[in-house]
Structure 1
Amino acid sequence: MASQLLWFCNWSTLGVCAALKLPQISSVLAARSARGISLPSLLLELAGFLVFLRYQCYYEYPLLTYLEFPILIAQDIILLLCVFHFNGNVKRAAPYIALLVSLWFVLALQKWIIDLALHLCTFISAASKFAQLQYLWRTADSGAVSALTWSLASYTCAARIVTTLMTTSDLTMLTRFVIMLALNIWITATVLRYRVTVEKAE
């Protein structure tokens, strides 16, 4: 039973993550606008994903416990390019992408760097969520933000709590997933709240 649950959580997370950002990318392309999407939030999320992936590769954790992160990073880069495109300057994305690539190599230079980075990763990822929440509160408009993407992200965090408990029992990673789950649910609720408000106003 435990092995079946682990199999389901691993593969369902991978399946969900394969399409996680597609509703968001689709919303941006359909609206031809990046309205409602916080650029700092997106950049911080990318950095958090990168650190998390590098940490698990460095310590050779089971592949299925982190296979979704390369997919998420690729989707976030596509979304980042969309945001810069609709804000009028795709070339501005180049320095950010170069910085993220450099970060990948710097993280593995010393064990203490990767360990410190993972401890900071929870704060970086939480900051990305708070940046998105702050943007929504300030504008009181969810714009092109996809509630489906954020609700799927909530599911993946819940599934990863289960897989972490059943495999590595890494407390740092477990803490991160619990915090991310709470913040993803909060953002989903906020997006839906402002969507209802705008629809009523119309």
Structure 2
Amino acid sequence: MEAALLGLCNWSTLGVCAALKLPQISAVLAARSARGLSLPSLLLELAGFLVFLRYQCYYGYPPLTYLEYPILIAQDVILLLCIFHFNGNVKQVTPHIAALVSSWFVLALQKWIIDLAMNLCTFISAASKLAQLQCLWKTRDSGTVSALTWSLSSYTCAILLRFVIMLALNIWVTVTVLRYQKTAIKAE
């Protein structure tokens, strides 16, 4: 039963990731505008996906553990092209794509580079979300931002919620142990 549930979670996440950005791309194309989308957010998200994919490839993980990342990267690149097209800056996409392609090779130059990048991946991902929030707060206009895309993204993260809860509880136990150790030392 447990294996079946895990398999369902894995495959449903992969399925959701395969279509994750499609509502956003569709909204931008339908509106012929990228209003409300944060370019820094998208670039940070692409960087995070790229780091994670490169890390998995570098260390030889099985493709099924990272199969969603090439799909997400492809969707983000399409979205990036849409943003530059509708903002009238198509020529400015070239340096961004060149930087992403170059980083693929730079990440694997030294083991410490890929390891450091992977350690920073959570911060990069969080910065991406904060950049989108900042854009929304600043403009007070969601423009063509797709609520469905963000909801699907939330679903893929919800599966990891168990680990966040366990982390919080483990930290709580650790702090409690340390607190009571100090109390026991003082009592002696």
TM-score, normalising length: structure 2: 0.83
Larger Rg: 2
Distance in 1 of aligned mates of 2:68 and 2:142: 26
Counterpart check, 1:106 vs 2:106: yes
Any runs of at least 4 consecutive aligned residues in structure 1 with deviations exceeding 6 A, and if so which?
Answer: none
Distance in 1 of aligned mates of 2:18 and 2:72: 7
Number of equivalences: 165
2:18 partner amino acid: A
Distance in 2 of aligned mates of 1:144 and 1:37: 7
Distance in 2 of aligned mates of 1:44 and 1:27: 21
2:88 partner amino acid: G
Using the TM superposition, give the Cα deviation of residue 99 of structure 1 relative to its aligned residue in structure 2, in angstroms: 0.5
Q: Residues 33-48 of structure 1 correspond to what in structure 2 (within 5 A)?
A: 33-48=33-48
Using the TM superposition, give the Cα deviation of residue 158 of structure 1 relative to its aligned residue in structure 2, in angstroms: 2.2
1:141 partner amino acid: D
Distance in 2 of aligned mates of 1:115 and 1:151: 30
Q: Percent of counterpart pairs with the same letter? A: 80
Distance in 2 of aligned mates of 1:10 and 1:59: 21
Structure 1: 5+ residue stretches without partners: 166-173, 179-202
Distance in 1 of aligned mates of 2:142 and 2:4: 38
Structure 2: 5+ residue stretches without partners: 168-188
TM-score, normalising length: structure 1: 0.78
Counterpart in the other structure of 1:51:
51
Counterpart in the other structure of 1:168:
none
Q: Please, which moves more after superposition, 73-82 or 3-12?
A: 3-12
Counterpart in the other structure of 1:189:
none
Using the TM superposition, give the Cα deviation of residue 131 of structure 1 relative to its aligned residue in structure 2, in angstroms: 0.4
Counterpart in the other structure of 1:171:
none
| Greater relative contact order (CA < 8 Å, ≥ 6 in sequence) | 2
